[in-house]
Structure 1
Amino acid sequence: MSATATDLDELIALRVLAQGGRLAEPRRSAAVRSGSHASRWRGRGVDFRESRIYQAGDDIRHMDWRLTARSGRAHTKVFEEEREQGLLLAVDFNPGMRFGTRKRFKSVQAGRAAALLAWLAADGGDRVGLIGFGGGIGGEVKPAGGRRGVLRVLRALRDWDAAADPGLLAPWSSVMPRIRRLLRPGMRLVVLSDGFDADPAAWSPLAQLAARHDIAAVLLRDALEMAPPPPGRYALSSGGVKQTLDFSDAHLRAEWPRHFSAARDRVRAESLRIGVRVLELDTDADLKRTLAPLLARSRVVTGIA
């Protein structure tokens, strides 16, 4: 177990915490693999569901001509698609994530949260995929099922964390085209980030995705970002740049938490506007308790916290 680097053995061990739990059903799509559940999405698919009165915008190719002729009113056929439920994780490796003063770095906690969600999804029969962004990371793990699929995700989390360049930034908008390409119908998306690089250009494409998918943003935070340390001079490093801050200065102490909360407040406000759920995850928080809104009700499981 490491406080500053993602440890593969710890990510694998999180499977114990996932036992007895599962991801909650998506709010927008009830799609699951093999058609064992019907999708709430309607479109041309494998099973005819019903015929209804024609509405403006309906595809004329789906017209039910026999019922139209019998009733004298235009009817269209509605099909029920089988859609495969899955989970796509988008994890932020920007320099700001390599920070933490309570138990572990934000980047390490993000990796742990991603691993727990991956295990829960796989145990529920879902496929799991991963996208990394920031810190020069541009890797992808295509969605796959089972233990092997999860292990590919966990190895990527470990490898990308080790390879991330502390001098390279990437905004949220830069990863949206890749998310759109991998996020298939019926899948849900969880973005794990501290939100500091959530730029205005990201909200429009994210809103388009949120209209069709269940999306959550897990915002990583550290105690030092919410309150300044005791008065004194402290040496800090960010993005490879070292500096000394004097927290005896009253103005600095007042502005310090405002700087960090402003970024999270913007993410919360925009997410609420477009229908994306937001959870906040501290570096020393209990994973299962904090991620509970994403999980289905299940028996309490003791284990790794």
Structure 2
Amino acid sequence: MRARPGSRVAAVAHAAPGQPGPPEPPAGDGIVPTLAELIALRGLARARGRVAAGSSGLRAQAPSMLRGRGMEYAESRGYTPGDDARHIDWRLTARSGKPHTKLFQAERERLTLVVADTAPALYFGTRVRFKSVQAARAGAIAAWRAVADGDRVAALRGSGLAPPVPAASGARGALRVLDALVRWYARPPDDDAGLEVALDQAVRLLRPGSRLLLLADPASVEAVPVARWSGLATHHQVVVLLLTDPLEMDPPGALLAFETAPGDRLELDMAAPAQRRRWQETFSGRLSSLTATLEARGVRAVALSCDAPSDAWLDAIGAGRG
């Protein structure tokens, strides 16, 4: 098991010998993300191919009478039966004396905003890498995908001191985000203010049709009022990556010893049915409930284990290989 010295949670698992090794070796030490490994993920993001234009409606060239996410006004034409009355161009209708309908087209540059949760629970891991490193790698994949899609990319975390990374396009924008992810996930920041503060900042930056990717621990997301997600998903494409660890989802049926503080040790017998049931309710049960809650409000929620390929979440949101 990996655990950062001085972190708030450390654990030792007495697993049975002969367990299979991790499916993917870490590019770095798995404890601290490096800029080199995040830059190297650009090739992996490119291999995924472009997101299909029809899945989001953001790359259509011809004007449409349907106003979707990320759409801006293009022109008006005469009204025909069946057109949406909400899109009537009232000014032109009044001026010409004949009803007209507004047409819309895709915005040229969309914003992809990466929001990083920096709760202490993320700086922990038992397989391949810390959850914090996996968050940084997933955020890097998102930044490189945004560049491939022609988006501007920005990033922020919940802090009253650290300013957001301003939106920029191309490799320059992605590298700014990668540099911030390396700094934020090197160690738990002292000024972490939580996801609610981060989402308050995000709302001020987002425009209708933006893409929002949230990298977070499930407990952090659970603390956000449910009503917030509906509002975000109404105007934006929202994806929440819930970072998990194999120990949380499937603990060994053995004694687990946790160092909760220097000199303080907690032991849990995971072979005991009652203890194992409480553990599963706390982790896997919470994850299932949280995923269902978010999906019901229009948010794509994906669990990403720290031992999974860092780009596995793209398949779950329909952005697989072209």
Which moved further from structure 2: 145-154 or 91-100?
Answer: 91-100
* Distance across 2 between alignment mates of 1:23 and 1:91: 24
Is 1:86 matched with 2:111?
Answer: yes
Could you tell me which residue of structure 2 aligns to residue 247 of structure 1? 269
Is 1:234 matched with 2:257?
Answer: yes
Could you tell me which residue of structure 1 aligns to residue 182 of structure 2? 158
1:253-292 aligned within 5 A: 253-292=276-315
CA contact (8 A) 1:122 1:128 kept: yes
Which moved further from structure 2: 47-56 or 219-228?
Answer: 47-56
Is 1:173 matched with 2:217?
Answer: no
Structure 1 counterpart SS, 2:113: strand
CA contact (8 A) 1:173 1:198 kept: no
Could you tell me which residue of structure 2 aligns to residue 7 of structure 1? 34
Is 1:17 matched with 2:44?
Answer: yes
Query: For the structure 1 residues 202 and 62, does the alpha-carbon distance in structure 2 shift closer, same or farther, using more than 3 Å as the test?
Result: farther
* Distance across 2 between alignment mates of 1:2 and 1:178: 32
Structure 1 counterpart SS, 2:204: helix
Normalization by structure 1: what TM-score?
Answer: 0.81
The count of aligned residue pairs is 288
Superposed CA offset, 1:212-270 (max 9, x none): 221111111111101223422513348x8954223256232221121012332332122
Which moved further from structure 2: 195-204 or 12-21?
Answer: 195-204
1:53-68 aligned within 5 A: 55=85, 60-63=90-93, 65-68=95-98
Query: For the structure 1 residues 41 and 298, does the alpha-carbon distance in structure 2 shift closer, same or farther, using more than 3 Å as the test?
Result: same
* Distance across 2 between alignment mates of 1:154 and 1:223: 26
1:203-242 aligned within 5 A: 203-237=226-260
Identity %: 31
Superposed CA offset, 1:17-48 (max 9, x none): 1223345247785335xx85657536995521
* Distance across 2 between alignment mates of 1:241 and 1:210: 45
| AA matched with 1:127 | R
* Structure 1 gaps, min length 5: 69-74, 300-305
Please state how far the C-alpha of 1:151 moved relative to its aligned partner. 0.4
CA-based RMSD of the aligned residues comes to 3.2
Please state how far the C-alpha of 1:122 moved relative to its aligned partner. 0.4
* Distance across 1 between alignment mates of 2:33 and 2:276: 31
Query: For the structure 1 residues 209 and 235, does the alpha-carbon distance in structure 2 shift closer, same or farther, using more than 3 Å as the test?
Result: closer
* Structure 2 gaps, min length 5: 1-27
Among 84, 99, 102, the residue aligned to 2:127: 102
Could you tell me which residue of structure 2 aligns to residue 116 of structure 1? 141
CA contact (8 A) 1:87 1:127 kept: yes
CA contact (8 A) 1:98 1:105 kept: yes
